[in-house]
Structure 1
Amino acid sequence: MADDARLVERVTRSLYTAIETADLDLMGAVWLESDDVVCVHPGWPAVRGRGQVLRSWAVVMAGTPYVQFFLTDLDVQVAGDTAVVTCSESLLTGAEGAAEGFVGAQAVSTKVLRRTPGGWRVALHHSSPVMGTPSDEADDDEGAQSADD
């Protein structure tokens, strides 16, 4: 089971490497060869089907001059021929007009992978932006209260 978890983590990290390096061949290699795959990019509706998913990644990569991911809280759960991966994504991306030319963002991600004769492959990727943390909201509430005093 530990070996499977390491293999699943390797495929997961390869997905992020594909994004960072705009490598469509690598992106195609990590996805399940099936029309049952689903990808949800932050702010997008669900993209269904292998061809549509790979096209969506081509669009993302073409519109992203630079991106680097820092994964934390990576958790891999394997049950038979299915694996579920959750993680937090902190990313740094190039952006016009940003003070330093870069913008940071955070998201949480879930992936479902299936074991195939060729190895583990991504069947579902869902990434959602993190808009703030409970401590940020508490700080905002305190600031609002002191402004009213």
Structure 2
Amino acid sequence: MPVMFATAEEAELAFYDALEKADLVRLMQVWADDEEIVCVHPGGLRVVGHHAVQESFQEILSSGGLHIRPARTMVVHSMMSAVHSLIEQVTVHGTQNTEVANCYATNVFHKGPTGWRMVIHHASAAPAQAGTLDLHDIPGLLH
């Protein structure tokens, strides 16, 4: 029986929880179960389709879970879809110290018969000051 996510936020929390616990089964329960899904890991190629996305995460999680804290989420929401633009604060444990690296991420969710499911995850490297230097619309600013 498929897991039901009542909201896109609930699905997103399950996604990051599964990444931290290196739980590939739970992680893939968040994704829509079709070939129309897309994932882009930081610095990586575009991965298309359920099997390919699963294989990419299996490789990433083979060395353990990832501590990623989602922050500064901006949401564009409609009845059947949600787009979350956020900053992923990724804790990286080095041999000498622990650092936090930032990524920008876009998570897209669609609502279907089994609740909300992720259809796109796109993450890319972000500057250390991500979030504090974001550009926002300023009235009268010429582009």
TM interval, shorter chain, is: 0.7 to 0.9
Structure 1: how far apart are the matches of 2:113 and 2:87?
29
Map of 1:22-37 to 2, 5 A cutoff?
22-37=22-37
Structure 2: how far apart are the matches of 1:77 and 1:130?
21
Higher Rg: 1
Would the aligned equivalents of 1:9 and 1:76 in 2 still touch at CA under 8 Å?
Answer: no
Would the aligned equivalents of 2:22 and 2:66 in 1 still touch at CA under 8 Å?
Answer: no
Would the aligned equivalents of 1:89 and 1:107 in 2 still touch at CA under 8 Å?
Answer: yes
In the alignment, structure 1 residue 86 sits paired with structure 2 residue 85 = yes
Runs of 5+ in structure 1 lacking a partner?
1-5, 135-149
Give the TM-score taking structure 1 as reference length. 0.77
User: What's the counterpart of residue 100 of structure 2?
Assistant: 104
Which structure: greater helix fraction?
1
Question: Aligned pair count?
Answer: 125
- Please report how far the alpha carbon of residue 86 of structure 1 lies from its aligned counterpart in structure 2 after TM superposition: 1.0
Instruction: Compute the RMSD of aligned alpha carbons.
Output: 1.7
Cα 1:62–1:47, aligned 2, differ >3 Å: closer, same or farther?
same
Moved over 4 A (4+): none
- Please report how far the alpha carbon of residue 29 of structure 1 lies from its aligned counterpart in structure 2 after TM superposition: 0.6
User: What's the counterpart of residue 51 of structure 1?
Assistant: 51
The alignment partner of 2:127 has SS state of coil
In the alignment, structure 1 residue 123 sits paired with structure 2 residue 119 = yes
- Please report how far the alpha carbon of residue 104 of structure 1 lies from its aligned counterpart in structure 2 after TM superposition: 1.8
- Equivalent AA in structure 2 for residue 9 of structure 1: E
- Equivalent AA in structure 2 for residue 105 of structure 1: A
- Equivalent AA in structure 2 for residue 44 of structure 1: G
Give the TM-score taking structure 2 as reference length. 0.80
Q: Relative to structure 2, which stretch is displaced further, 66-75 or 11-20?
A: 66-75
Runs of 5+ in structure 2 lacking a partner?
1-5, 131-143
User: What's the counterpart of residue 18 of structure 1?
Assistant: 18
User: What's the counterpart of residue 139 of structure 1?
Assistant: none
Which one has more relative contact order, counting CA pairs under 8 Å at least 6 apart?
A: 2
Structure 2: how far apart are the matches of 1:76 and 1:7?
12
Structure 1: how far apart are the matches of 2:109 and 2:7?
11
- Please report how far the alpha carbon of residue 66 of structure 1 lies from its aligned counterpart in structure 2 after TM superposition: 4.7
